[in-house]
Chain A
Amino acid sequence: MTGIKKFWGRQTIIAAVSAAALALSGCAASSALNEGEEKPAADTGGDTVKVGVLHSLSGTMAISEVSLRDAELMAIEEINADGGVLGKQIEPIVEDGASDWPTFAEKAKKLLQKDEAAAVFGGWTSASRKAMLPVFEQNNGLLWYPVQYEGMESSPNIFYTGATTNQQIVPSVTWLLENKGKSFFLIGSDYVFPRTANKEIKAQLEAEGGTLAGEEYTPLGHTDYSTLISKIKEKKPEVIYNTLNGDSNVAFFKQLKDAGITADDITVLSVSIAEEEIRGIGTDILTGHYAAWNYFQTTDTPENEKFVASYKEAYGDDRVTGDPIEAAYNAVYLWAAAVEKAGSFEVDAVKAAAGGIEFKAPGGTVTIDGDNQHTYKTARIGEIQADGQFKEVWNSGEPVKPDPYLETYPWAEGLN
């Protein structure tokens, strides 16, 4: 008798637990029938239009990506205050990519299929972009990616508002060769961006008369640079081209200074250190070194004055702006302008209308290149000052046409 009771009890429990699990996993199951079967399209039925904001709000990338979310939300607020897009208010749906690439793919899918977002602003690392790319292509969504990256990509469903290599790395190498020296030492974190960037730099050095003193990679998060600095001391390069990312920069610059190497001995030019990172690393050990970007907080335009003031007002006086933050802000305005021009939120119409769209951005006018969906941007090089800001020492004068595959550079022929 107890046996039967036991079995029935067990079964009820299993059924109950299964039901609970299913209910949890399918928390939207009840609305299944309402969502319909047709291909997801922008949901523009009401007075609002939904857009996704998908950055890492937790995990290792949160420190960088939270600022991008803030900039995007600020742009959305400004546009809404100004009457919205096509008469509709923009309704942002914020999701956390959690510094985890499958999560980025999962949330992108959610934003496109469940929320029917007309556009998604998001991503930082190349890995997160690569993870989202097939989702956007399969669902014919629209992703605005705001960070400088290694190039060699041009998806029909992605707009790239950050720099590609010919708007940041290539001009900075030329500038270094002309002003700082011929002998380069390349250091980088061990992932796709540094390795690809260095491949391009090596080809460029060969073509433009530079020499390679060394090339070293360390894992992300690496903090012991004594061996690497000994190698640098032995090779005596004139320039260190730095593609390290994150915490490693703190350790590297500190140990470089402790080893007695100052900016006067060897110039270090970095491509992943913006105002935000300078705050984290410490200005004392960075002063006198250089960084290549398309925008600095100190960039002198009327638009930037207003942008910096609004950003500080919204998020606090201690916050700083920076290149990716500006590119994220621009992305929202560029999308809104393309929608206005298209007269529609439909992805294909917006894409068709986007070519040639201009925006007077804080960092100077940016224009969408209709062919590769990147933007024309002004290349800039800045010297880090004691107050944690940049002093611009060079700019390209006019916006540079994006060339993600480096097709206009003869030395890059073997790279793709």
Chain B
Amino acid sequence: MDKKKLGYWLFFIALFLGPLYLTEFRLALLGKFLCFALVALGICLIWGYTGILSLGHGVYFGLGAYCTAMYLKLEAAGGGLPDFMEWSGVTGIPAFWRPFANPAFALGASLLVPALLAAVLGFLTFKNRIKGVYFSLISQAVVVVFVTLFVAKQDWTGGTNGLTNFTTFLGFSLASPLVQIALYLITVLILGASFALAAALTKSRAGRVLSAVRDGENRVRFLGFNPTSYKVFVYSLSAALAGLAGTLFVLQVGLISPAMMGIIPSIEMVLWVAVGGRHSLIGAILGAVIVNSAKSFFSESYPDIWSIFLGLLFIIVVMFLPNGLVGAIESWKKSRKKSRQKGGTADAADSVVS
């Protein structure tokens, strides 16, 4: 058996056994971080493997979360009007809210709405060969559009307060510790499955084309591939993962608001991947968990000055570990190996994302 795979198995088994050694509160935190890890996994696919730097993944995360939150809100209202609509002066449930009373529709939409938006946006930009920093800027603009829209349509979206105060999911009380443990385990399973899927994708023929797109898009085009369709595909997949993460987040944290799809959270998502290592799927997952754990730990221990520590962490990573923690460990291993067997093969050039 592949030893690398064994390591991954151990990691996910350790996560799966979390309820045995973590308190209810710490488990809920880890569950939240694993949702973020799922977003990071998607960003790693498009950034580390395909060279698309999206600074707007908060939107996909938010859309997924809102789709599920709409269902939860309707279930909490028990057939009546959700509370925020009542005090916003809405008299009947808006037509586009109605289908979300069906959980299957809501969960499906939480995957498909982000994926479709990403497909449309990706198609229009990638087809016109907009890439690099220009694409990043467009992704930021999309964030601004959505946040403004969600804040302004208070009677439909809950405005800045967002959607919160849910009671049950499919009839199970969200306040029950057992339900929370079950949701945590589901999150671990989904993260594990998504990781396996992403790993398989990167090893496949399509995955090699994605890396080739990153390293030389025009050459790929000259070889007869259509980079646009590959990029649209992986971008949509990444958006769907973010939407799925949003669903799991809203179920565990019980809250979604426009602030969470804003520019700062969107950039933070990229930072997680940068810290962990953007060329490594497991690095992205670890990055999300480590950065958020550090944030929680520092802010609990030093509530007045914790943000300085976190800033320091980011600066250290950017200055000294440009390929993140996993990247640093790998290059250290390589150099050690090289010094042992003189005349080994040269390092493959580490490509910098455009």
Instruction: Tell me the A residues contacting B by CB distance below 8 Å.
Output: 2, 6-11, 13-15, 17-22, 24-29, 31-32, 35, 57-58, 94-96, 98, 100-103, 105-107, 109-110, 113-114, 125-127, 130-131, 133-135, 137-138, 152, 190-192, 195-196, 199, 217, 219-220, 414-416
User: Is residue B92 within 8 Å, beta carbon to beta carbon, of the partner chain?
Assistant: no
With A26-B18, A35-B23 known, 16 other A-B pairs at CB within 8 A are A6-B333, A15-B11, A22-B15, A24-B290, A24-B294, A29-B23, A57-B304, A94-B303, A95-B303, A96-B299, A98-B307, A101-B255, A101-B260, A106-B32, A131-B257, A134-B254
Q: How does the 8 Å CB contact mask read for B241-278 relative to A, with 1 for contact and 0 for none? A: 00000000000011101011000000000000000000
In the complex, chain A residues whose CB is within 8 Å of the CB of B89: 199, 414-415
User: Is residue B219 within 8 Å, beta carbon to beta carbon, of the partner chain?
Assistant: no
* Contact across chains for A58 and B289 when beta carbons are under 8 A apart: no
User: Is residue B123 within 8 Å, beta carbon to beta carbon, of the partner chain?
Assistant: no
Q: Could you tell me the distance in whole angstroms from the C-beta of A127 to the nearest C-beta in chain B?
A: 5
- In terms of DSSP, what is the predominant structure of the interface of chain A? helix
Docked pose: A206 CA to B14 CA in angstroms: 63
Q: How does the 8 Å CB contact mask read for B326-354 relative to A, with 1 for contact and 0 for none? A: 10010001000100010000000000000
Which residue on A lies nearest to B283, using beta carbons?
A17
User: Is residue B48 within 8 Å, beta carbon to beta carbon, of the partner chain?
Assistant: no
From A102, A130, A190, A219, B161 is in contact (CB under 8 Å) with A130
- In terms of DSSP, what is the predominant structure of the interface of chain B? helix
- 29 A-B pairs, CB-CB below 8 angstroms? A2-B337, A7-B2, A8-B3, A11-B3, A14-B4, A14-B7, A18-B11, A21-B290, A24-B294, A25-B292, A25-B293, A28-B26, A29-B21, A29-B26, A32-B22, A96-B299, A101-B162, A106-B32, A125-B160, A126-B161, A127-B160, A130-B161, A130-B164, A130-B165, A190-B151, A190-B152, A190-B159, A191-B151, A191-B159
In the complex, chain B residues whose CB is within 8 Å of the CB of A416: 86-87
Docked pose: A416 CA to B11 CA in angstroms: 51
Docked pose: A196 CA to B108 CA in angstroms: 33
User: Is residue B232 within 8 Å, beta carbon to beta carbon, of the partner chain?
Assistant: no
Docked pose: A152 CA to B300 CA in angstroms: 33
From B24, B159, B286, B294, A192 is in contact (CB under 8 Å) with B159
Interface residues on B, range: 35 or more
* Contact across chains for B255 and A15 when beta carbons are under 8 A apart: no
From A13, A102, A110, B25 is in contact (CB under 8 Å) with A110
Q: Could you tell me the distance in whole angstroms from the C-beta of A320 to the nearest C-beta in chain B?
A: 21
* Contact across chains for B259 and A101 when beta carbons are under 8 A apart: yes
* Contact across chains for B4 and A10 when beta carbons are under 8 A apart: yes
In the complex, chain B residues whose CB is within 8 Å of the CB of A27: 26, 293, 297
In the complex, chain A residues whose CB is within 8 Å of the CB of B329: 13, 17
In the complex, chain B residues whose CB is within 8 Å of the CB of A106: 29, 32, 253, 296
* Contact across chains for B159 and A13 when beta carbons are under 8 A apart: no
